Chain A
Amino acid sequence: MAQPSLSIFPPQNKSCRLCVEDLRFLACGPYTFFLQKGECLGLSGKSGIGKTQMLRAITDLIPHTGKVLLDGVSSTAFPAPLWRSMVTMVPAESFWWYDIVGDHFSAEFGADSLQDKLAAVGFKEDVLNWQISRLSTGEKQRLALIRGLCNTPSVLLLDEPCSALDGYHTTLTEGLILNYLQHNNASVLWVSHDHEQLQRVADRELCVEKTGLIEKTVERRPVSVEE
């Protein structure tokens, strides 16, 4: 294997969590990349290039060709709902269908663990009793992330998870996600327009183009974290 961008291709070892091979959807692709266990991969690219649609294709919400493998098993081998609860996408805009926040959270999810996560992004206990209509965009965004974690997915597909948050809550949310990654050995595909943020959280960064991916070198700049 002597390709210039060698790391885009999956390594032949067991640590590969999510493999995306030759993914095409709408008029985009083919995209080939992999995610290792515990890895956070940043995705950037121009608006409208198809980053959101790529996440939707990976979670199998839109028709696509090519393969998506979780721990070596193809998405088609799972029923779609099970696949989506293992490879969970949290969209930039969240939707809510009951009146009360708490009704959207599955009961199987341990109450303690849920409270910990809520506290980690700055919510008090009674948030579960709040009216949806009372929530701000940023509150919805943080709650939607936690709702997505309720299935304890192996892979998180995050579409601009902090786009509506202030600096303080962005830091909390990034902390929660990276913490989840460590404790569950999960992987994250993180779409963001905020280059600084990807520098902070991502192990690698890929730039999405219409017909492929370009690897970006991530320079670790600890200074920017302190700022």
Chain B
Amino acid sequence: MDVIALSAWDLSIAAALVCALSLLSLFLSLGLEWKILIFSCRMTAQLLFIGIVLRYLFASGSLPIVLLMATVMLFAAGREVLARQNLRLKGITGYAIGTGAMFVSSFSVSLIALVVIIGVDPWYTPQYAIPLLGMLLGNTMTGVSLALDRLTDQFYKERGVVEQRLLLGQTWQEASSDIRKECMRTGMIPIINSMAAAGLVSLPGMMTGQILGGTPPMEAVKYQILIIFLIAAGTGFGVISAIWMSGHYLFDNRHRLCLERLSGSRLRKR
């Protein structure tokens, strides 16, 4: 069975729904109307662009181009992580921590999946590598940005407690252990929740896509299970390493809390 091709007309009907939502937002003065429109347009442009890129990528299938693509995706995800935080870790390190955490987790998990599990030949076959990495990066990004946002927020709000614990002779690891654990949980809860709901409440996007594309349901399900495992592992490792690295960054070698290494809109008002 072939996929029914969508025409521009079909898409514009769906777009009309978003426009209606935007109007409703204006009506309810939610202040989201422009955001909805702008990000819809942005999403459309990004996806159309990636469609063209993927067509070229699949046709060429060479390793350097796949790696280039993967790098671009990684840096875009790193930017996105930073943009979602109220209080950011300052400077290049802030960017490097989010990006580094996603690199470690997403890339290694993708590599394992491609080489060991799926065993596709060659391992960088873009039809497998790019969507897989994309799904992993997307989910890891959500986890890491949630966890980091919570971490910086908590250190800022709870600095009195953290410093009090330091004053009593605790190491920075002890003084921040509660906050760091809580943030790791915050980062991992979404994927755990989505595991609970998978199949019962929601049919995951990739599986839906495969079924629409004509793959037998059982094959689609197996792939989906694999992907969810990978995402859970990738998100978990990513969150833990991001929190671990930012802990090191926010304390110096004399176990002092260095809040001047944070920047953000909320700090400027003080």
Give me the interface of A with B, judged by CB distance under 8 Å: 59-63, 79-82, 84-85, 88-91, 93-97, 147-148, 150-151
Contact = CB atoms under 8 A, between A and B. Distances in A.
A203 B231 CA distance: 65
Interface size range on B against A: 10 to 19
A81 B168 CA distance: 8
B250 to A, nearest CB: 14
Contacts of B171: 81
Contacts of B165: 97
List the 9 shortest-distance A-B pairs measured between CB atoms, nearest first.
A85-B169, A95-B164, A80-B255, A80-B254, A95-B160, A95-B161, A84-B169, A97-B161, A81-B169
B178 A84 contact: no
B38 interface: no
A84 B167 CA distance: 6
A79 B254 CA distance: 7
Contact of A88 (B161, B163, B169, B255): B169
B60 interface: no
Contacts of B254: 60, 80
Given A80-B166, A95-B163, 13 more contacts: A61-B166, A63-B252, A80-B253, A80-B254, A81-B166, A84-B166, A84-B168, A88-B169, A90-B167, A91-B164, A93-B160, A96-B164, A148-B168
B256 interface: yes
Nearest to A89: B167
What does DSSP make chain A's interface, helix, strand, loop or mixed?
loop
B168 A151 contact: yes
B256 A94 contact: no
B44 interface: no
A80 B161 contact: no
Contact of A147 (B161, B163, B168): B168
Nearest to A95: B164
Listed residue (A59, A95, A147) with the most chain B CB atoms within 10 angstroms of its CB: A95
A147 B170 CA distance: 13
Contacts of A79: 255
A151 B167 contact: no
Nearest to A84: B169
